[in-house]
């Protein structure tokens, strides 16, 4: 093969000729034209590692490779990809549990221009791989490391120290991650001042306990999305994160059960930058802290908390999604507040809020015509006849009881439910005017008999 330089016209036609291949392997004729390979769905029969290795070894112009739909991929194939695709900017190996540090380390040794890496569920990945990514991938803006049971604070500290362009960092369900993984609020001078204090009585410690606080002299100005679902962190970690990354827009802390109101006080400092906050299953958060949060972060548009003041969030002008699942203290008064004030609300989840009445949610549907999705599973008042026909179909895996309780309304079904309840309300008024007993029905007719 002869090497030559492309002039401007040739370069333009070259890029126009490049293609994206989705959910299949490229053909032999397409090998040199493939720029993006996306394998998200597992095919039947599944793509084998040998087939994938043959294809990737012949695609020199790949810029992104999504291989989550080929879970049988091995280190051998990843190594081939690293050697051949010298312009690789992104790779998704989610669920490829046969890949280990060997393949990931090869990606880091080739000086590839990687900008996004997703290794969710690649359970063999350990600290050396993640540390190498942080230290060698200087262009990295997105890093996903969810469901990695072997990951420890050691490598995540390197991510905070070296990956200064990151915009998205996901570390959900990594059981070994603790406060030591995240920036400390201590300054170097405070750390030195404490060295002369009388030490505490000896106790059993691990090497993770002996890690010093992570003291950083820079800030993560670019970080916008941080997912720490079900990590074993405390309020101290949240305080350090907010201090180090003051412009976070989406913060996911669901399942971080050790957090208290002090964590919300730290989150309040994000102010207008914060627009998504997830705190589901954090039962220790109190109403007072949530009120302060709603007043400090006025641009919130998506909220999911365990215990909250609905009245405060209802006043947020940009609120579009609100999850109140299993908030047992929620009553019709809270729904009335949303109906009156949450003018931009598009999605509402109130499943298993047993105290809500059909009348309250009907008022919400009438007032908030831009509501596109309502989840009301498990609410007793929604089990009456006539309501079920507007609900989406329950998943096939649900048992009989789950299917009976399932009430999820989307798009046109929301409008249809509102129209049905409007007609029923009219029939009730007509019945009262004629002193006739009112009986709920499941049809849409307006006649009383």
Summarised one tens digit per residue, pLDDT across range 216-272 is: 989 999 999 999 999 999 999 999 999 999 999 999 999 999 999 899 999 999 999
* Phi, psi for 132 (deg, rounded to 5): -65, -40
- Residue 283: inside a domain: no
CB 83 within 8 A of CB 58: no
- Residue 271: inside a domain: no
CATH number at residue 26: 3.80.10.10
Choice between 329 and 403, residue whose per-residue pLDDT is larger = 403
Q: Is the dihedral of CA 122, 123, 124, 126 positive or negative?
A: positive
- Residue 292: inside a domain: no
Tokens 């720490």 locate to 228
- Residue 206: inside a domain: no
Query: Count of domains in the chain?
Result: 2
Of the listed ranges 23-32, 245-254, 307-316, the one predicted with least confidence: 307-316
Q: What is the pLDDT of residue 311?
A: 73
Pairing type for strands 250-252 and 276-279 reads parallel
Indicate left, alpha or beta for 74 from its phi (over 0: left) and psi (-120 to 50: alpha): beta
Indicate the residue among 109, 142, 175 that finishes a domain.
142
- Residue 302: inside a domain: no
CB 176 within 8 A of CB 199: no
Indicate the residue among 124, 142, 160 that finishes a domain.
142
- Residue 363: inside a domain: yes
- Residue 160: inside a domain: no
Q: Give percent of the chain with pLDDT exceeding 90.
A: 64
- Residue 331: inside a domain: yes
CA angle 193, 198, 202 (to 5 degrees): 120
What are 233's two structure tokens? 């962190």
Confidence at 59, pLDDT banded by 50, 70, 90? very high
Summarised one tens digit per residue, pLDDT across range 142-167 is: 999 999 999 999 999 999 999 999 99
Domain with 408, as residue range(s), is 309-439+445-449
pTM: 0.76
């Amino acid at each position: 093969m002869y090497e030559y330089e492309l002039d401007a016209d040739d370069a333009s036609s070259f890029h126009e000729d490049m293609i994206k291949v989705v959910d299949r392997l490229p053909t032999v004729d397409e090998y040199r034209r493939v720029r993006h390979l996306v394998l998200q769905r597992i095919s039947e029969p599944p793509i084998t590692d040998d087939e994938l290795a043959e294809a990737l070894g012949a695609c020199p112009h790949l810029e992104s490779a999504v291989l989550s739909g080929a879970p049988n991929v091995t280190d051998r194939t990843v190594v081939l990809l690293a050697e051949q695709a010298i312009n690789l900017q992104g790779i998704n190996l989610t669920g490829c549990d046969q890949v280990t540090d060997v393949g990931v380390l090869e990606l880091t040794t080739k000086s590839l221009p990687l900008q996004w890496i997703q290794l969710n569920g690649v359970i063999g990945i350990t600290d050396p791989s993640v540390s190498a990514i942080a230290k060698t991938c200087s262009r990295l803006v997105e890093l996903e490391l969810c469901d990695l049971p072997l990951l420890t604070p050691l490598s995540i500290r390197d991510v905070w120290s070296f990956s200064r362009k990151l915009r998205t960092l996901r570390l959900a369900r990594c059981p070994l991650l603790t406060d030591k993984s995240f920036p400390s609020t201590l300054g170097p001078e405070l750390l030195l001042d404490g060295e002369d204090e009388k030490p505490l009585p000896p106790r059993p410690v691990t090497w993770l306990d002996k890690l010093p606080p992570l003291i950083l002299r820079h800030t993560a100005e670019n970080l916008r999305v941080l997912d720490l679902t079900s990590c074993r962190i405390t309020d101290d970690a949240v305080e350090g994160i907010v201090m180090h990354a003051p412009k976070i827009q989406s913060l996911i802390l669901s399942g971080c059960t050790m957090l208290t109101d002090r964590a919300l006080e730290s989150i309040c400092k994000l102010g207008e930058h914060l627009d998504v906050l997830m705190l589901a299953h954090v039962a220790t958060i109190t109403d007072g802290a949530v009120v302060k949060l709603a007043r400090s972060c006025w641009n919130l548009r998506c909220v999911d908390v365990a215990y909250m003041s609905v009245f405060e969030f209802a006043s947020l002008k940009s609120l579009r999604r609100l999850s109140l699942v299993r908030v047992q203290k929620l009553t019709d008064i809270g729904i009335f507040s949303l109906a009156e004030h949450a003018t931009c609300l598009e999605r509402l989840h109130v499943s298993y809020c047993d105290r809500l009445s059909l009348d309250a949610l009907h008022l919400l549907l009438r007032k908030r015509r831009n509501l596109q999705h309502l989840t009301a599973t498990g609410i007793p008042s929604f089990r009456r006849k006539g309501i079920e026909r507007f609900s989406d179909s329950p998943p096939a895996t649900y048992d009989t009881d789950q299917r009976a309780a399932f009430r999820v309304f989307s798009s046109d079904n929301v409008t249809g439910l509102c129209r049905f309840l409007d007609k029923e309300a009219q029939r009730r008024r007509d019945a009262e005017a004629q002193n006739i007993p009112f009986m709920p029905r499941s049809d849409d007719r307006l006649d009383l008999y």
